[in-house]
A and B are shown apart, each in its own frame.
Chain A
Amino acid sequence: MPTPDTHHSPKNLRHNYKRYLKERTIELLLFLAASLSVFITFAIIYLLVSESLVFFEHVSLWDFLTDTQWTPLFDDAHYGILPLVSGTAISSLVALVIALPFGTIIAIYLSEFAPFAVREIAKPFLELLGGIPTVVYGYFALLFVTPLLQTILPGLPGFSLLSAGLVMGIMIIPYVSSMTEDAMRSVPMHLREGSYAIGATRFQTAIKVVMPASLSGIAAAYILGISRAVGETMVVAIAAGMQPNLVWNPMEPAATITTYIVQVSLGDLPHGSIGYQTIFAAGLTLLLLTLVFNILGHLLRKRYREVY
C-alpha cells in the first residue's frame, strides 16, 4: 500500500494557504503601525501650514517678519514675530551658557576620570534628574531661583528670562552630559592607550584625542540641547511672565514662541478666529526653527563622522 502523500494533501495545502494569509496580514498590520509615524509628520505639517496660510491672508509675511510688536489679541493688533523670537533666543542662550559647559565637564569627568562605582551611581541619577516634569522645574524657577537671584541682583523683576533660562539650563544638563558621555565612551580604548603611552595625562587625552574623535556625537548632543531649549515651554511660561517684549536683556520678563501658544490656549479662543490661527503660525515658526537645528545636527554628524 503506498503511503499517502501527506505533504500535498488538500487539507495541508489549505492549511498552508491560511498560514500564508495570516503571515501577510500580520506583516501588513505591522507595516501600517510603522507608517503611522510618517502620517503624524504629514498631519503636523499639513495642519500648521494650512492654518498658517489662512493667517497669512490677513497678515503679510513682511509684517510678520519685521513688525516689532506682537499684540494679536488687542484691538490695535500687530503681528510681528520678532518679540517672541527674541524671547526664545535669549532664554535659550542663557540655558545653553549653563547646559553646554556643565554638561561637557560632567561628561568628560564621567567618561575619562570617574571610577566605575561613581559612574554607575551618577548616570542613573542624572537620568532621574532629566525625568522630572518641566512644570516642577517651573515651580522651582519661580519660587526658589528667582528669590535667590533677587538677593544678588536687587533689580530683578519677579518674572525674568534669566531665572527661567538658568533653570532650563540645569534641566538640559542631563541630556547634554549623557549624550556627550555616550559619544566619548564609544571612542575605542586603543586610541586612549596610544595617548597614555606617549605620556599624555587623562585631561590631555580627553581634550586632544577623545573629544576630536567623538566630535560628531558631541555636536549632536549640543544640537539636541539647543532644540530642547528652543522648544521648552512650561519653565518659561511660569517663570518669565507672558508679555511679548522685544528685549535683548535677560533680566526682563518676556514671552517666547511656546509661551504665547500656552497663553492663548489658557484663554477661550473661538475655533477659526485670527487669534486661533496665530498659534499655528507661531507653531510653524517653532517647527521650522527646530527643523533647522535638526538638519544642522544631521549634517554635522555626517561631516565629522569617524569610522573605526
Chain B
Amino acid sequence: MNHSDNLNEIRAIIAHHKRWDLLALIAGIIALMIAVLTFIALFGNMIIDGMPRLNWEFFTSFPSRKPEMAGILSAWVGTTLVMLVTAVAAVPLGVAAGVYLEEYAPKNFITEIIEINVTNLAGVPSIIYGLLALGLFVYELGLGQSILSAGLTLALLILPIVIVATREAIRSIPVSIREGAYALGATKWQTVADHVLPYSAAGIMTGIIIGLARAIGETAPIITIGALTFIAFLPPSPLQDQFPFISFEWLMEPFTVMPIQMFNWISRPQEAFQHNAAAAGLVLVIMTLLMNGLAIYLRYRLRKNIKW
C-alpha cells in the first residue's frame, strides 16, 4: 500500500466520523426542538380552548351544571388554603430534618437509615401517599376529607424535596463561617440559627418553592383521600370580625382544588366543560410556571452573587 492510498483511507475514516458527529449534533437539536414544540402545542392548545373563558366571572363563580356559568372560585380558594397548611407543616419539619442531618447527625447506623429513607420516600409514587392519608388522616385520626387532611398529605409528599434542598443549601456554606461563630463562643444552635440558616435561606427558599409548585398540581393523592369534586360554597373565613379574630374552622371543611376541578371538567362529555378545563389548566400551568420560574431565578441570582 503506497503513501497516498494510506492518506486517502485516513481521510475517509475522518470524514466518516465527522459525519456521525454532525448527525449526533442534528439529532440532539431535533430532540430538543421536539420538546419545545410539545410545550408550544400544549400551551397553544390550552390557550385556544381556554382563553375565551378566562374572564373575571370565571374567577369569582362557583362550579355549576351550566358550563358557561361555571367558575373556579372554590377551587382557587381551596388550593390557597391547602397550600397554606402544606407550607406550615412541611417547611419547619423539612428544614429541621435537613439541619439535623447536615449539622448534628453523628455518622452512625440511625443516621444512615434516615438518609436512605429520605431518598426512598422521594421515589414513592404520589398515589401511595394518598393511600397513606386515606388510612391515617381520614380514618385513623378522624380528620375526614378536609382541608387539613389534604394539606398534611401534600406536606408529606414534598417533605423529601424540602429536606434535600435544605441539605444542599447548608452544605454549600463554608466551614470557616461556623468556625468563626464557635471562636466567638456561640453554641451549636446559635451558629445554626444566626449564621448557617440565614446564609442558606435563599437556597432553602428555592427548594420550598419547587416543592409547593409540585404540590399545587398534585391530583392523585387528593382524589384518593376522597375529596368531593362539586363544591359550591366557601369554607368559613380564617379572619373574623369578632374576638379572637382568627378562626380555624376552615381546616375541617370539605374543599376542592384546582387540579381536581380541572379533572372533573375533563371527565364531562360536553365540549363546553372541556373549554372550562382548558381555562382552569391555563391558570394552573401559569401558577406552576411562575413558581418554578421564581425558583430558577433565585438559584441563578444565588449562583451569581455569592462567592465565598
**Residues A23 and B187 in contact in the complex (CB < 8 Å), given A44-B124, A114-B28, A262-B127:** yes
Instruction: Please name all residues of chain B whose beta carbon is closer than 8 Å to the beta carbon of A174 when the two chains form the complex.
Output: 35
The verdict on A36 contacting chain B, using a C-beta distance below 8 Å, is yes
Question: Is A48 touching B21 in the complex (CB atoms < 8 A)?
Answer: no
Instruction: Please name all residues of chain A whose beta carbon is closer than 8 Å to the beta carbon of B187 when the two chains form the complex.
Output: 19, 23
Interface positions, chain A 87-110, Cβ under 8 Å from B, are 102, 105-106, 108-110
| Interface footprint category on A | 35 or more
Which of A3-11, A68-76, A78-86, A230-238 touches B? A230-238
How far does the alpha carbon of A131 sit from the alpha carbon of B212 in the complex, in Å?
A: 11
Interface positions, chain A 200-251, Cβ under 8 Å from B, are 200-204, 206, 224, 227, 230-234, 237-238
The verdict on B239 contacting chain A, using a C-beta distance below 8 Å, is no
Other-chain residue from B28, B128, B218 in contact with A109 (beta carbon distance below 8 A): B28
Instruction: Please name all residues of chain A whose beta carbon is closer than 8 Å to the beta carbon of B262 when the two chains form the complex.
Output: 135-136, 139
Which among B31, B97, B156 has the highest number of chain A CB atoms within 10 Å?
B31
**Residues A36 and B159 in contact in the complex (CB < 8 Å), given A128-B289, A140-B45:** yes
How far does the alpha carbon of A47 sit from the alpha carbon of B130 in the complex, in Å?
A: 12
Question: Is A33 touching B219 in the complex (CB atoms < 8 A)?
Answer: no
Question: Is A135 touching B292 in the complex (CB atoms < 8 A)?
Answer: no
Decide if the interface of chain B is mainly helix, strand, loop or mixed.
helix
Interface positions, chain A 104-155, Cβ under 8 Å from B, are 105-106, 108-110, 113-114, 122, 124-129, 131-140, 142-144
The verdict on B182 contacting chain A, using a C-beta distance below 8 Å, is no
Instruction: Please name all residues of chain A whose beta carbon is closer than 8 Å to the beta carbon of B160 when the two chains form the complex.
Output: 37
The verdict on B99 contacting chain A, using a C-beta distance below 8 Å, is yes
Instruction: Please name all residues of chain A whose beta carbon is closer than 8 Å to the beta carbon of B124 when the two chains form the complex.
Output: 44, 231, 287, 290
Kindly list the 7 A-B residue pairs having the minimum CB-CB distance in the complex, ordered from nearest. A109-B28, A133-B217, A231-B125, A33-B96, A30-B100, A233-B220, A201-B21
Q: List, sorted by A's number, 21 A–B pairs whose CB atoms are closer than 8 Å.
A: A26-B189, A30-B99, A37-B159, A40-B121, A44-B128, A44-B132, A105-B31, A109-B27, A109-B29, A135-B259, A138-B263, A139-B277, A139-B281, A201-B18, A231-B125, A233-B220, A234-B263, A258-B127, A265-B226, A280-B135, A294-B120
Binding site for A on B (CB under 8 A): 17-18, 20-21, 23-25, 27-29, 31-32, 34-36, 38-39, 41-42, 45-46, 49, 92-94, 96-97, 99-101, 104-105, 113-114, 117-118, 120-121, 123-132, 134-136, 139, 156, 159-160, 163, 187-189, 210, 213-214, 216-220, 223-226, 229, 259, 262-263, 266-267, 274, 277-278, 281, 284-285, 288-289, 291-293, 296
Binding site for B on A (CB under 8 A): 19, 22-23, 26-27, 29-31, 33-38, 40-41, 43-44, 47-48, 51, 102, 105-106, 108-110, 113-114, 122, 124-129, 131-140, 142-144, 170, 173-174, 200-204, 206, 224, 227, 230-234, 237-238, 258, 261-262, 265-266, 268, 271, 279-280, 283, 286-287, 290, 294
